[in-house]
Amino acid sequence: MIIRSLIGDIGLDILLYDNNYYKEKIIESVINELNSKFDKFKQLHNDIELEISLIGHSLGSLILFDILNNKQYYEKLNFRVINFFGIGSPVSIFKLIQRDKLKDELYCDNYYNVFHECDPIGYRMEPLLDRSLSTVNPVPLETLSSPDLIIDKVKNLNVLSEYISGLDIMKNKNGLDVAKLDGKLSPEHVKKIHNFNTFGRIDYVIKSKLLDLDMINALKSHVCYFEEFDLINFIIKKLLAKKQKLSIDEALKLNKVN
C-alpha cells in the first residue's frame, strides 16, 4: 500500500507536469503562492531586509528549478533568491529524458542538490553540466553523532549567536563541508559549477546506514528527508553562513583546486 501510494503520488504528478498545459498551470500557481507568502511576511516585517531561500522536495524541486532556470518565470517573483535546496530531486533524470538543454545559470546564488544515496528518485546534478563530473564523488553531509547536537545548537540564543559568528569551528569558515574527493575536481569543473553554486559544488549526499539497503528503506529514504538531522544541520549552516557568495577564485581556493 505504501509503495502504491508513493508511486501514485510521485509518478502521476510527474506525468501531469510533463504536459505543457499542466506545467504552465502548476508553475503559475507556485509563483503566485510564493509571492503571496512573501508579501504577507513583508507587510508584517517591513523593517527587515529579507534574504530568501527556497526548499523543494521531489517534484517540488523540479518546479522550483524550472522557475529559477527561466528568466520569464523568475522575473514574476517579487523577491531575489539566495539559496535553493533541491531535496530528493529528479531534475537531472527528467531533463535528460526530455533532452532539455539547461540554461547557463540559475537565478540564485547557490543551488544545493541533496539526495540520499539509496533514494531511487533523487539523482546527481553535476554530471549533467559536465559528463566528466560523474567520476567526482558528491560531497557527503557531515554526520552528527547525536540528534541532541543540533538541538543544543539552536535552543538558546547564546549558542545560536556563537553558531552564527563562529561557523569556522564547523570544519570551514564558510560553513562548507568540502569532502576530500579523489583529486579529479578540476578548475574547469569549478568554473562550470560556479554559475549554479558560487561555492563550487552542487551535489551533496546523505550516506546510507548499514540497514538502509533493502527496497522498503530505499523508498522510505525519499519521503523521510526532513527527519534527517544531518540534512537539517546542513541547511542551517548554509542559511547562517556569514558569506553567502564567493568569487571564482575563492571557490577554487575553497575546493583546493589549482
Residue 53 in grid coordinates = 531561500
Domain boundaries, the chain: 2-254
Residue-wise pLDDT tens digits, 79-131: 999 999 999 999 998 888 888 777 778 999 999 999 998 888 899 999 999 98
Sheet of strand 52-57, all strands in order from the earlier edge strand to the far edge: 52-57, 81-87, 110-116, 203-206, 139-140
Q: State residue 67's pLDDT score.
A: 97
Active site residue 58: yes
- Mark the ranges of the chain whose per-residue pLDDT is less than 50: 155-181, 210-211
Residue 45 has what pLDDT?
87
3-state SS assignment for residue 13: helix
Confidence (pLDDT) at 10: 63
Maximum CA extent, the chain: 52
Query: Whose CA is closest to 204, among 254, 136, 132?
Result: 136
What is the model's pTM?
0.81
Active-site option among 53, 58, 92, 132: 58
CA dist list (Å): 168 to 171, 174, 177, 198 = 6, 7, 11, 18
